[in-house]
Homo-oligomer: A and B are copies of this chain.
Amino acid sequence: MSLELTPVEAVACCPPLAREPLSESEAEGIAPLLKALADPVRLRLMSMVASHEGGEACVCDLNDAFELSQPTISHHLKVLHEAGLLDREKRGVWVYYRARTGALQNLAALIGGQAQ
């Protein structure tokens, strides 16, 4: 067991931004999650996986949608995975990533939640 929370775990701990000021440690836990999303390529990857049927997509499909090298896509997927936004599963030669929609919803609640 780890005392270190993943960004996705950290985001579930806090009331909405507009309710009360975030503490320093809360902010430091949440920022990495936003950072993981704050890149055009990763936003598109996240959106492609989340909107794909079954909420999952094969890397082989994702690579072709970008004019970027395969290692670059692999790198971005790793960032999203380590932030806790994507789950990873290997099936045969292929790797499938699955969106953690609960994480997205927790993040949305933090950002857009009403003050009261």
Contact = CB atoms under 8 A, between A and B. Distances in A.
A107 interface: yes
Contacts of A21: 44, 47-48, 51, 65
Interface in A101-116: 101, 104-109, 111-113, 115
Nearest to A25: B40
Q: Is the interface of A mostly helix, strand, loop or mixed?
A: helix
Interface residues of A, number: 41
Please give the count of copies of this chain that the complex contains.
2
A5 interface: no
6 contacts: A21-B44, A22-B48, A24-B40, A35-B38, A37-B38, A105-B112
Interface of A: 17-24, 27-28, 30-32, 34-35, 37-41, 43-44, 46-48, 50-51, 55, 65, 99, 101, 104-109, 111-113, 115
